[in-house]
Structures are given as C-alpha cells and as structure tokens.
Amino acid sequence: MEKLIDKQRVVQHMNGRLLRNNVLKFLFFLATVFGLIVLVILLYRILTQAIGWLNLDFLNNFPSRRPENAGIKAGLVGSLWLMVIVAPVSLILGVGTAIYLEEYAKKNRFTDFIQTNISNLAGVPSIVFGLLGLTLFVRELNLGRSILAAGLTMSLLVLPVIVVAAQEAIRAVPNQLREASYGMGATKWQTIYRIVLPAAIPGILTGSILALSRAIGETAPLVVLGIPTFLAYLPRGILDTFTVMPMQIYNWTSRPQADFQNVAAAGIVVLLVVLIFMNSIAIFIRNKFQKRY
C-alpha cells in the first residue's frame, strides 16, 4: 500500500530549508562585505597618508633621518636582490622534492613521515626559521648578514609551501596523460618533463608566487638575522650587507616624528605594487598555460 504524501508537511519542510539557506547566504554575504570594508578602510588610510610623499624622489633616495629626504631605494633594491636568491633556490628544491615524492618515491611509512613533516613545517612560525638561519648560515657557514644568508633562510621558510602546492598540482594531472605517454614509448623522465610538468605549471606557479610574496613581505626572520634597518648604499653582490622594504617600513613606523608615519605609508604602497606585479605575472603565465591544457 503506497504511502500518501502529505503536501502540507513537504511544504513546511521546504520552507524551513529555504529559510536556513537564505539565513546562511546572508551571513556569508555579511562576512564578505565586512572583509571588503576593512580592506577599503585600510587602503584608504594608507593612500591618503602616502599621497603627498610618494614620488620619484622617494624611489631614488636612500633612508634619511629627515622624513622629507627619506627614500626606499635601498630597501627596494635589496628586496629584488633577495628574490634573486629565494626564487631559484626555493623553486628548484621545492618542485624537485614534489616530483620525487609524487612520481618516484614508493608509498610507505618513510615517505608518509616526510610528507607529514613537510606539512608541519608549513605552519612553523617564521621566527623559528630566522633562528635556524642565524645558527647555520650566519654563524656556522660564516656568511654574515649577507644577501646569500638571508636568501637561504627565506628559501627554507617558503620551501614547504612550494612543495605542498607543487604536489597538489602534480597530483591533479590525469593519469590518462601519463599512460598515453608511456604507450608512445616515452620514458619516466620524458613523461614528467613533457606531459606532467606543463600540465601542472599553473598550480605550481600559483603556490610559488604566493610563497614568494610571503617571503618578500616577511620581517621576523630578517630581524633575527640582524639585517640593518638603515642603509645608505646599494649591495653589489650576494655577499654584501643589505636591507629590505619591510625592514625600512618597520624602522619608519618606530620613529617618533609624525611625518615618518606618512613615509611608512608610502613604503607600504610601493611594497603593495611590487606584490601586485608579482601576482600579475603569475596570473599571466598561468592563463597562458591553461589555454594549452
């Protein structure tokens, strides 16, 4: 005997479910609006403070004890020098580790142990990496407070993030592409180099650029290494002393003069422009490869 459907009860259930759906939708919308409002207020505050101080002289001048003469040239060039070390070291080691773990390593307890520790390292506070860099690179290897020591330290900081991002990108490549390559007689490395990596490049670049953006904006590890906040010359090599934009901004915000707060706001705008430029390059390359695969 078929059960009769109570239409009124069905309508009540549907109305309750629709009400819960609308309430949750409204809460999610409020969360999004709240985040956007905070971001707009922050950008407005920074831009209004930086408008009168952001000019070509600010980009070409070195730090000064007088706010009207202060510039971010040393920090900007130093940040670019830092990326010269961090980008190749972290990308080569990170992507290489991901390829080995995903394509070559056998799945056993040892690889699970490595994978767990890599994931844990991604959540370690950055100051811990600064202590490691101070002990290993600055003191043991006698690299001093150089670009090379700081670059290697920051590479260790972002390396776990790049490894995890590259693993996820490689794992997302369909197995059918690998099998088709093997069916054509390609070797393991040829399949990885010509099939897997090109298909995984969008995901690898996304995670890598986000990691490098974190590296260029970090301050705590560099403070531990003793990187100076005031430097009136440019480095000429990777073994020279240097400073970076976050360190200069930190120095300006700690000054008692009110005008230095505006100088710090101008430095923040320059740092944001550099980060946006880096992310724009990543988006361009990612979209270019997504058209092919």
pLDDT of 249-292, one tens digit each? 988 888 888 888 889 889 999 999 988 888 887 778 777 766 55
Neighbours of 116 (CB within 10 A): 10
Residue-number span of the structural domain to which 14 is assigned? 7-51
* Cβ(228)–Cβ(213) below 8 Å: no
Q: What is the pLDDT of residue 292?
A: 54
Q: What is the pLDDT of residue 2?
A: 47
* Cβ(86)–Cβ(212) below 8 Å: yes
Residue with tokens 């002990």: 135
Question: φ and ψ at 241, to 5 degrees?
Answer: -75, 150
Residue 38 shares a structural domain with residue 84: no
* Cβ(250)–Cβ(268) below 8 Å: no
* 170 occurs within a structural domain: yes
pLDDT of 41-59, one tens digit each? 998 988 888 888 888 888 8
pLDDT of 142-198, one tens digit each? 888 899 999 999 999 999 999 999 999 999 888 888 888 888 888 888 888 888 888
* pLDDT above 60: residue 200: yes
* Cβ(214)–Cβ(154) below 8 Å: no
- And the tokens for 214? 């974190």
- And the tokens for 91? 């990308």
* Cβ(150)–Cβ(225) below 8 Å: yes
Q: What is the pLDDT of residue 1?
A: 41
User: Percentage of the chain with pLDDT > 70?
Assistant: 96
Which one, of 235, 277, 229, 231, lies nearest residue 249 by Cα? 229
* Cβ(101)–Cβ(169) below 8 Å: no
Residue 200 shares a structural domain with residue 226: yes
* 1 occurs within a structural domain: no
Residue with tokens 């490049």: 201
- And the tokens for 236? 């000429």
Residue 77 shares a structural domain with residue 210: yes
Residue 157 shares a structural domain with residue 66: yes
Residue 283 shares a structural domain with residue 182: yes
Calpha distance 103→199 (Å, rounded): 14
Residue 234 is part of a domain; what is its CATH number? 1.10.3720.10
Rg (CA), the chain: 25
Residue 40 shares a structural domain with residue 104: no
Strand partners, 241: 146
- How many folded domains does the chain comprise? 2
Q: Cα–Cα distances in Å, from 286 out to 138, 193, 207, 289?
A: 36, 17, 11, 5
* 164 occurs within a structural domain: yes
225-230 contacts, C-beta under 8 A, 24 or more apart = 225/130, 225/133, 225/134, 225/138, 225/145, 225/149, 225/150, 225/153, 226/134, 226/138, 226/145, 227/145, 227/150, 228/145, 230/63
Residue 167 shares a structural domain with residue 250: yes
Residue 213 shares a structural domain with residue 155: yes
Higher pLDDT, 203 or 12: 203
Q: What is the pLDDT of residue 291?
A: 53
User: Percentage of the chain with pLDDT > 90?
Assistant: 27
Residue 197 shares a structural domain with residue 63: yes
* pLDDT above 70: residue 4: no
